[in-house]
């Protein structure tokens, strides 16, 4: 009998929560199995290792993220609208894959040194290129201030958005789009009242 895709997804969701809370190295197959309410040996019926589980969690998250980002980048929007759409898409991904985002934030630097996870480095480079290119386009078009340090601005926006995975909970008081709107207001317009 083949395990159902729904059960596999449930187990990956459980594993993602355990990895996010405890870290990849501190997480054992037994801890994942305990959280899933099953024997550790039974988990091997579904996955051959915790590394396979983590790989599936991260690759699914990044595949979905890039589908959204590529759609935004191909839309031919202006620089400000592109930033707005990328931030909104990022919050949607945090909503859908909060634990995977937290794992990516904490573990990608260490994991990317392993051949199986080299795609994490590739994704980071693609991510940086998309954001830096949009910011540079905005400065050139005089949509963003000429005195911006593009790399520092990119890091600020990136970190400000993705750290939300540490506190955001799906189904909370605010939708991903509402949070994105507030973040964008602060990032693009500041928090001071203009005279």
Which residue has tokens 């590739």? 122
Residue that has been written with the tokens 């630097």 in this structure: 109
| pLDDT for position 70 | 97
Q: What is the pLDDT of residue 190?
A: 78
Q: Quick one: CA dihedral 24, 27, 33, 34, positive or negative?
A: negative
Q: What does the pLDDT read at residue 23?
A: 94
pLDDT in 10s for each residue of the chain, 195 residues? 566 888 889 999 999 999 999 999 999 999 999 999 998 888 888 899 999 999 999 999 999 999 999 999 999 999 999 999 999 999 999 999 999 999 999 999 999 999 999 999 999 999 999 999 999 999 999 999 999 999 999 999 999 999 998 888 888 889 999 999 999 999 888 766 666
Predicted local confidence at residue 2, as pLDDT: 62
Number of alpha helices (DSSP H) and beta strands (DSSP E) in the chain: 8, 0
Instruction: Look at residue 186 and give its three-state secondary structure.
Output: helix
Return the closest-CA partner of residue 16 out of 82, 101, 85.
101
Give ∠ CA 48-13-19 in degrees, rounded to 5: 75
pLDDT score for 3: 66
Entry pTM: 0.89
Instruction: Kindly provide the b/e burial profile for residues 92-129, where b requires at least 16 CB atoms within 10 angstroms of the residue's own CB.
Output: bbbbbbbbbbbbbebbbeebbeeeebeebeebeeebee
- The pLDDT score that the predictor gives to residue 169 is 85
Which of 51, 85, 43 is CA-nearest to residue 68? 85
């Amino acid at each position: 009998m083949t395990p159902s895709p729904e059960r596999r997804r449930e187990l990956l969701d459980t594993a993602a929560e355990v990895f996010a809370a405890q870290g990849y190295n501190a997480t054992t197959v037994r801890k994942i199995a305990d959280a899933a309410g099953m024997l550790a040996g039974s988990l091997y019926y579904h996955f051959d290792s915790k590394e396979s589980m983590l790989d599936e969690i991260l690759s699914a998250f990044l595949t979905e993220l890039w589908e959204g980002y590529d759609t935004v980048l191909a839309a031919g929007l202006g620089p400000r609208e592109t930033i707005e759409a990328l931030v909104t898409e990022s919050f949607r991904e945090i909503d859908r894959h909060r634990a995977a985002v937290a794992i990516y934030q904490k573990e990608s630097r260490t994991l990317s040194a392993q051949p199986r996870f080299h795609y994490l480095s590739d994704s980071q480079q693609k991510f940086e290129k998309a954001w830096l290119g949009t910011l540079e386009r905005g400065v050139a078009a005089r949509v963003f201030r000429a005195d911006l340090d593009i790399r520092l601005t990119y890091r600020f926006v990136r970190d400000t958005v993705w750290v939300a995975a540490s506190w955001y909970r799906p189904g909370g008081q605010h939708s991903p789009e509402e949070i994105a709107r507030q973040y964008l207001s602060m990032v693009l317009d500041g928090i001071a009242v203009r005279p």
